[in-house]
Amino acid sequence: MLYKKFLSPIGMLTIFSSGKGICRIDFENEKSSLEGFKEGSDFYIEECIRQLDLYFQKKLKNFDVRLDLQGTEFQKAVWEEILKIPYGEVKTYGEIARLIGKPKAARAVGQALNKNPIPIVIPCHRVIGSNGSLTGFGGGIEIKKFLLRHEEVEV
């Protein structure tokens, strides 16, 4: 279980590999727990860095790095649905709730997104409030705005 830091246009990211795939990406403003991980790299980390670099150069719109998702079945369902939101588009929490067959679970969708371990790759920045508001984001609202503007979404 390894981690490596990557300097991106939105600050330092820490990318974690379980050995089975990418299991976490932390923003520099988050307290990263390195317990159980050692500094280093593997194929998954290097591929994730390569794809993130291409994304920030506007040369990649769809990530295909292997993910090792750890979470509840509900969280995984939400994250899998978020992966389907195309580059440059947004959906609301309510839309995601309806798409996973839980139309009254918009708030629970928000809680699942709050636990998203792999932001950017699992593009929770593409989920907004029903009134168009930019609600919470692990990296902060300014980073969410940056990512949406990067994808040419009006914010």
What are the start-end ranges of the E strands in 29-109? 38-39, 91-92
Q: Which residue has the tokens 């990649």?
A: 60
- Beta bridge partners of residue 91, listed in sequence order: 127
| Of 97, 100, 112, 124, catalytic | 124
Backbone angles phi, psi at 94, to 5 degrees: -65, -40
Residue 91 CA to residue 82 CA, distance in Å, equals 9
Residue 65 CA to residue 21 CA, distance in Å, equals 8
State yes or no: is 48 an active-site residue. Answer: no
Sign of the torsion formed by the C-alpha atoms of 126, 69, 106 and 26: negative
Residue 91 CA to residue 95 CA, distance in Å, equals 6
Residue 52 to residues 36, 46, 73, Cα–Cα distance (Å): 24, 10, 27
Residues with catalytic roles: 124
